[in-house]
Chains A and B, each alone.
Chain A
């Protein structure tokens, strides 16, 4: 077992542990911070799997933008004071959570090798020098040559989000 495998195991374990902590912590601010830690572990996993672009975007967009928005919401509502109940209530919720987890696991096990990973896979052996630099260009090609139409659709989706935000906030702004 090389250094790479050891690091992969450490961060996979960390990601799982922080994910468990997110769903079981009662304090919302702690849960948000644990989620950020979980995202950082995932980013490290991506880096170790020769996808540094994905790893850094995970931190920039999820941890740096989406979770900040979450914390804003938590700060305003002060959920910490109201949400004192246990994260899991009754056997029904636990069973439902377990069922969902089992479904997701099955999806990963049976669906993983159907994913068209060949297009993004590095040309050289994993972990070889230069593989990381190749990663950005390969993602760019996949995104702007084969996925150009989807990319434009994302633009329209973002526009919809801008308009929706303005409509929702408009009443408050006018008061």
Chain B
């Protein structure tokens, strides 16, 4: 039962958090004034004239970062269960297993570095 109780506690907390912040936003929506006019409704674009559509293409680097994050995130995720049994159970074998895995990924990191995948100038 203990674990179900844990999930129940989490759900009660999450519900309280959701109700609290939904309530804060809702109260301000109800109590705040609503005075629209045509100038206020224009996108203010930090003082410059709006040109072209909002959703234009942006630089490939952002995708590159997102994809690389995904790859290295998976690497980190493997390390978390690994550290719980490295010293008591796996020992030197574990060092070889993770060493080979990390060496492959460090090679990937070095390749990406050399090809300029991490340049932001």
Contacts and interface: CB of A to CB of B under 8 A. Distances in A.
Would A and B touch once assembled, by the CB under 8 A criterion? Answer: yes
A163 interface: yes
A116 B117 CA distance: 42
B26 interface: no
Contacts of A61: 70, 73-74, 77
Task: Please classify the interface of chain B as helix (H, G, I), strand (E, B), loop, or mixed, using the class held by over half of its residues.
Answer: helix
B75 to A, nearest CB: 7
Interface in A54-68: 57, 60-61, 64-66, 68
A137 B66 CA distance: 30
Task: Please classify the interface of chain A as helix (H, G, I), strand (E, B), loop, or mixed, using the class held by over half of its residues.
Answer: helix
B97 interface: yes
Contact of B100 (A4, A66, A155): A155
Interface stretch (A86-94, A95-103, A126-134): A126-134
Given A61-B77, A65-B73, A69-B63, A173 B117 contact: yes
A50 interface: yes
Contacts of A23: none
Interface stretch (A31-39, A106-114, A141-149): A141-149
How many of chain A's residues touch chain B, expressed as a range?
35 or more
Interface string B31-53: 00000000000000000000001
Contact of B61 (A3, A137, A173): A173
Contacts of A44: 7
B104 A155 contact: yes
A20 B108 CA distance: 38
Interface in B48-88: 53, 55, 57-58, 60-64, 66-71, 73-75, 77-78, 80-82, 84-85
A143 B83 CA distance: 12
A144 B90 CA distance: 8
A12 to B, nearest CB: 14
Contacts of B78: 143, 151, 154
Contacts of B100: 152, 155
Contact of B85 (A73, A128, A144, A159): A144
B109 to A, nearest CB: 8
Contacts of B90: 144-145
Interface string A71-90: 01101101001000000000
A156 interface: yes
A173 B116 contact: yes
B74 A151 contact: no
B2 interface: yes
6 contacts: A140-B84, A144-B81, A144-B90, A162-B68, A166-B117, A173-B61
Q: Give me the 10 closest cross-chain CB pairs, A-B, nearest first.
A: A162-B108, A140-B81, A129-B2, A172-B60, A78-B55, A155-B101, A155-B104, A4-B4, A65-B70, A159-B108
